């Protein structure tokens, strides 16, 4: 069974490991992800406060500064530890046993606003992207739309005797 999580606007800062977009779930999407990440970084480097406010969903310039980094070179942590919204707080991953954490790492799929479908164990940098917001001319939900259908199709194909089960937390 795979468990699907929506992303969280709130994220934990910090990290330990280098970011490798090619290691994320659905490695074949690496070129599209890199295009999106480069567009994201270019918008940040341009420093247009109005564009950044819209993309981040933040009005105060002082709050925007935290996210004006080249995320491709930022340190990462597991996605399940990066996101800190209500569902993630309720899960309380750090308090789980090692076997429970391994189950979560292998079976939870998170739909990131910027990176698309990722595993709970995928190492991701801190970023800010308002849900449904375009990154320049690229709309992430359109970029990743077919991926969701493919994912559900793969689940169904593996277990023809049952329908895919998804839990919403």
How far, in Å, CA of 37 to CA of 33, rounded?
A: 6
Q: What is the mean pLDDT of residues 27-38?
A: 88
Q: Where are the domains of the chain?
A: 3-158
Above 80 in pLDDT, residue 152?
Answer: no
Angle 81-88-145 (CA atoms, 0-180°, nearest 5)? Answer: 90
Model confidence pLDDT, tens digit, residues 106-142:
999 999 989 988 999 999 999 999 988 989 888 888 8
The rounded percent of the chain whose pLDDT value lies above 90 is: 51
Report whether 105 contacts 44 (CB < 8 A): no
From residue 94, give the alpha-carbon distance in Å to each of 43, 73, 98, 100, 133. 35, 26, 9, 10, 31
In terms of pTM, does the model score above 0.85? no
């Amino acid at each position: 069974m795979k468990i699907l999580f929506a992303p969280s606007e709130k994220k934990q800062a910090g990290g330990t490991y280098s970011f490798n977009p090619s290691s994320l779930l659905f490695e074949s999407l690496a070129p599209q992800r890199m295009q999106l990440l480069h567009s994201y970084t270019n918008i940040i480097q341009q420093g247009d406060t109005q564009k950044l406010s819209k993309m981040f969903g933040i009005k105060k310039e002082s709050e925007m500064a935290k996210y004006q980094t080249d995320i491709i070179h930022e340190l990462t942590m597991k996605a399940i530890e990066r996101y800190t919204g209500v569902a993630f707080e309720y899960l309380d991953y750090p308090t789980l046993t090692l076997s429970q954490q391994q189950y979560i790492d292998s079976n939870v799929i998170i739909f990131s606003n910027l990176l698309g479908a990722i595993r709970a164990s995928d190492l991701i940098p801190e970023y800010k992207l308002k849900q449904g917001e375009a990154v320049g001319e690229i709309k992430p939900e359109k970029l990743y739309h077919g991926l969701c259908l493919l994912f559900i199709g793969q689940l169904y194909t593996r277990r023809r005797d049952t329908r895919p089960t998804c839990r919403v937390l």
